């Protein structure tokens, strides 16, 4: 009904524009500028129109991106051959242009893909001549893309909701500032005043006070450092020459007041972690013998019923449509997150799972079960 009304108003605007001259954005409304951009929910399809002759040549839309990854903007023109000199651009929150696409009359569907951080992004649609209704949609995908190719072209989501993604393995961003973590040690904090000392394997990294140098990691306590000073290594008391060293003993409050040994403190009660949410597998497990093909998780796209995955193995590895696989996070099998291969390319494949993206984005092992006949 809404789209029918839009088509009626669109036709009426064409008729009303005959015989008069108006400015290019005289009837555009508030969305002619970025400040009046109409918010669009990620994954939602919205319809609007451009009609420069009727004074509506510019539209702005905005998206709230939930996390770093990729924003794919798709625009479908109903009257693709009628709209002339139409340009679609994507901008960041400051208005800087990130990507642009000039519409071609012979191709009704335009698509732009930009790498994004969490925050607001804007899409500008502008035309100089003609008129057309259009449908616009924005999709968000986690991950990073190396644009390595090898699959015969870029594969992106379409309006039907089939997520065919390409990209590279997700990498965690390095912490801003501070020193690098040594093997087995904790990472140095961002900023800070002192230099971070390397920690031995399996040990913890000593921390320097503001303005001071870090003391070497050892068995003793870290000496206090005054602002601007340097830390000294705590020394063990030494007996004078000729004297016998007497072991030091600690007098406890219990031995002074009652003479009874102090009872051992009760072990702290650790609250049990909430049970992980269970997901119903999207497909039954494989029957019969199989071999495990370990692969990489290149990209995750959240969808209403779970996630769509881009995996780093394809036809040349023996992957076929319909095969199943499992996902592990921190070495543990994620119950119910079994996936099913839905599309196979030369060097990669696409799979579907009922597990939400947040539950599997830290996956450290992905296996595909290849049947052995």
> Residue 356 sits in a domain of what CATH number?
2.40.10.340
Please check whether residues 14 and 130 belong to one and the same domain.
Answer: yes
Q: How far is the C-alpha of 280 from the C-alpha of 283, rounded, in Å?
A: 9
CATH code, 67: 2.60.120.380
Could you identify the residue written with the tokens 């269970």?
Answer: 278
Question: For residue 2, is pLDDT > 50?
Answer: no
Q: Per residue in 275-322, pLDDT tens?
A: 455 678 999 999 899 999 999 988 888 888 888 898 989 999 999 999
Q: Span 27-49, mean pLDDT?
A: 90
| Tokens matching residue 273 | 């972690």
Cβ atoms of residues 121 and 65 within 8 Å: yes
User: Do 42 and 150 sit in the same domain of this protein?
Assistant: no
State whether 159 and 16 are in the same domain.
no
Domain match, 11 and 135 both? yes
> Count of CB atoms within 10 A of residue 363's CB?
20
* Contact predicate 308/328, CB 8 Å: no
42 in a domain, yes or no?
Answer: yes
117 and 136 inside one domain: yes
* Tokens encoding 253: 């409050």
In this prediction, residues 334-350 reach a mean pLDDT of 91
Least confident span in 106-120, 174-188, 271-285, 343-357: 174-188
Domain membership of residue 216 (yes or no) is no
On whether both 292 and 361 belong to a single domain, the answer is yes
Query: Given CA atoms 40, 42, 47, 53 in this order, what sign does their dihedral have?
Result: positive
Give the structural domain span for 166: 146-170+278-373
Q: What's this model's pTM, rounded to 2 decimal places?
A: 0.43
Is the same domain home to 155 and 127? no
């Amino acid at each position: 009904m809404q789209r029918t009304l839009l088509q009626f108003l669109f036709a009426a605007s064409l008729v009303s524009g005959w015989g008069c001259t108006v400015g290019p954005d005289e009837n555009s409304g508030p969305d002619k500028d970025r400040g009046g951009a109409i918010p669009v929910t990620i994954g939602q399809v919205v319809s609007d129109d451009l009609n420069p002759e009727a004074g509506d040549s510019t539209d702005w839309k905005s998206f709230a991106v939930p996390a770093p990854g990729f924003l794919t903007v798709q625009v479908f023109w109903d009257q693709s051959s009628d709209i002339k000199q139409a340009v679609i651009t994507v901008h960041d929150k400051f208005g800087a242009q990130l990507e642009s696409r000039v519409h071609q009359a012979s191709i009704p569907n335009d698509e732009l893909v930009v790498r994004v951080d969490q925050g607001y992004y804007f899409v500008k649609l502008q035309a100089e001549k003609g008129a057309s209704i259009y449908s616009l949609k924005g999709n968000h995908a986690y991950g990073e893309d190396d644009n390595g190719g090898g699959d015969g072209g870029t594969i992106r989501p379409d309006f039907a909701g089939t997520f065919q993604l390409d990209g590279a393995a997700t990498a965690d961003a390095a912490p801003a500032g501070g020193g690098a973590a040594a093997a087995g040690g904790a990472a140095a904090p961002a900023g800070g005043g002192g230099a971070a000392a390397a920690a031995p394997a399996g040990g913890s990294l000593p921390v320097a006070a503001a303005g001071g140098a870090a003391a070497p990691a050892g068995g003793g306590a870290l000496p206090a450092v005054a602002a601007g000073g340097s830390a000294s290594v705590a020394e063990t008391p030494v007996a004078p020459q000729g004297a016998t060293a007497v072991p030091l003993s600690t007098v406890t409050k219990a031995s002074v007041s009652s003479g009874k040994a102090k009872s051992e403190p009760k072990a702290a009660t650790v609250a049990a972690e909430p049970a992980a949410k269970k997901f119903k597998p999207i497909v039954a497990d494989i029957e019969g013998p199989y071999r495990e093909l370990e692969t990489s998780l290149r990209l995750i796209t959240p969808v209403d019923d779970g996630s769509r995955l881009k995996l780093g193995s394809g036809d040349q590895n023996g992957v076929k449509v319909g095969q199943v696989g499992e996902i592990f996070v921190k070495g543990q099998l994620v119950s119910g997150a079994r996936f099913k291969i839905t599309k196979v390319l030369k060097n990669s494949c696409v799979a579907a799972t009922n597990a939400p993206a947040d539950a599997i984005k830290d996956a450290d092992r992905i296996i595909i079960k290849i049947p052995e006949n």
